[in-house]
Structure 1
């Protein structure tokens, strides 16, 4: 029984850091991009997959070029769609609505935004297409959705993981569908 290694990396610091960027296409900060490129140097992978959003895509392109590996841009690895909250500083939103969202993102999605189950569904579909050692450059929400799908954790459990900008989560996937976390670097 052979396993497959995947590495999930959160993009580095973007412009407009600290906001609910969701599907906003904020470009990466140069230092944040350099952190991602540097962290990737010690990893083994045959492919790079990135979200189509610039803050993940641009460092992913740089890493794939540096390592001379295939690059695939996949919008299923986007962050949760925060709908009307996209681009806002959380401090500028109604505290009670934001609290309800963090407590139960399935029952209380952002206005015109995405439910937690929809994020998990699209990330799960993206995961099923990975068949070789891969580095996925994505977003904290998508990484948490991957943990939920692969390890059977609920939203409260995955939100307990600290995934700052540039965080790296390594997993081993087994043919029977089970997964094992092999490393977390924040």
Structure 2
């Protein structure tokens, strides 16, 4: 029985916005590229584009051999976990796409693996080519100048050891050194390449990072009472104190003069905070769904003590594991981390080299800091974030991140 690897990716420039997907089918034994697929989708969300890429990749594999086994590799934690059956598919728009993907091959013949974005460059490139073609009013087609070289590079990079790279190079009529040169030019790395340098050892020529200034929204009437206030509650607006805090943050950011764009969670308190700041800076506000606060389910509006009194066992389980969701259909921290990570990847791509203000909530800010530090999930309980506080994280081209500021409140005093 033949075995294929399917790598798929999708992107949306705006979420929702102009979107496209890319997918590639690889031979599992040698790593050579067998088929590519990409398409401009018009205006859809990032998650829809990711699922459409998965479906296209599976169909391309099925066309090559309907009896094959397939191993899917994607950098979308959401799609991988949902298709593996570990996460529920709550969004109604995702369910038909998931069923469409499951229908391509019989159950048991497709497995799923999450990979970092840096290992999904081939599919990511195809998705961006499709979006670029759509922006020009054209249909995607493989680039004669780069597709063959990049396919050779991807095959060489994924082959098992130098023997696999040599086999791929021989098929393309080149020697191993030429294959490695192509891989370097394409931005890929072979299995023997060192890991990206970290921290102080990072190379000096990475260019300006994407810098996210993380602003927690101002106070709402629930904030001083320390009540659970997520994305599943009453969606409160800012209080008078919260609006004053937003004005002070806007003044401080205007004086610094470094923010080039403003992105906000869709909830009322973040949109209101962002509007105050953006008005002062003369910028528009872009909404990013992935930055919304955790859905706390049945705990919405309760204090911690009230949640403890009503749901003691559930609260203990939630505190003990990031995979446990709040009572009544809330989101686990693992689920929140997956969508925040996807939002981060989209924003890093969109705002590479720029400084962006992200107006969001406690959990997304803590999650971005936790991911940047490589800290364990329980670190979320060891961070304190004040209303209207500022934090900052910089993201470099090699995938490394640097936490530059945390819970800064001097502008409020």
Aligned equivalent of 1:64, options 267, 278, 290:
278
After superposing on structure 2, the runs of 4+ consecutive aligned residues of structure 1 that deviate more than 3 Å are: 40-43
Aligned equivalent of 1:161, options 353, 359, 383:
383
Shift of 1:102: 2.2
Q: 1:117 to 1:27 in 2, by over 3 A?
A: same
- 2:296 corresponding residue in structure 1: 82
- 2:343 corresponding residue in structure 1: 126
- 1:22 corresponding residue in structure 2: 230
Q: 1:72 to 1:175 in 2, by over 3 A?
A: same
Give the conservation status (yes or no) of the 8 Å contact 2:395–2:401: yes
Shift of 1:71: 1.1
Q: 1:178 to 1:41 in 2, by over 3 A?
A: farther
Aligned equivalent of 2:321, options 104, 119, 128:
104
Shift of 1:133: 1.2
RMSD: 1.6
Q: Give the alignment's TM-score, normalised by structure 2.
A: 0.43
Q: Deviations over 1:51-110 (max 9, x none)?
A: 11111110101111210113101221111111121222222123443233123231x210
Matched, 1:9 2:225: no
Provide the rounded CA distance (Å) in 2 between the counterparts of 1:165 and 1:20: 14
Matched, 1:54 2:268: yes
Provide the rounded CA distance (Å) in 1 between the counterparts of 2:374 and 2:301: 30
Structure 2 gaps of 5+ residues are 1-205
Provide the rounded CA distance (Å) in 2 between the counterparts of 1:126 and 1:10: 17
Shift of 1:113: 0.8
Q: Give the alignment's TM-score, normalised by structure 1.
A: 0.91
Aligned equivalent of 1:35, options 245, 255, 266:
245
Q: Tell which structure's C-alpha radius of gyration is larger.
A: 2
Matched, 1:177 2:399: yes
| Aligned partner of residue 91 in structure 1, secondary structure | helix
Q: 1:67 to 1:79 in 2, by over 3 A?
A: same
Give the conservation status (yes or no) of the 8 Å contact 1:9–1:138: yes
Shift of 1:183: 1.3
Shift of 1:127: 1.1
Shift of 1:129: 2.2
| Aligned partner of residue 318 in structure 2, secondary structure | helix
Give the conservation status (yes or no) of the 8 Å contact 2:249–2:277: no
Between the two proteins, the alignment pairs up a number of residues equal to 185
Matched, 1:114 2:353: no
Shift of 1:140: 0.4
Provide the rounded CA distance (Å) in 2 between the counterparts of 1:65 and 1:113: 34
Which of structures 1 and 2 has the larger relative contact order (alpha carbons within 8 angstroms, sep 6+)?
Answer: 1
Give the conservation status (yes or no) of the 8 Å contact 2:261–2:285: yes
| Aligned partner of residue 42 in structure 1, secondary structure | helix
Provide the rounded CA distance (Å) in 2 between the counterparts of 1:42 and 1:178: 28
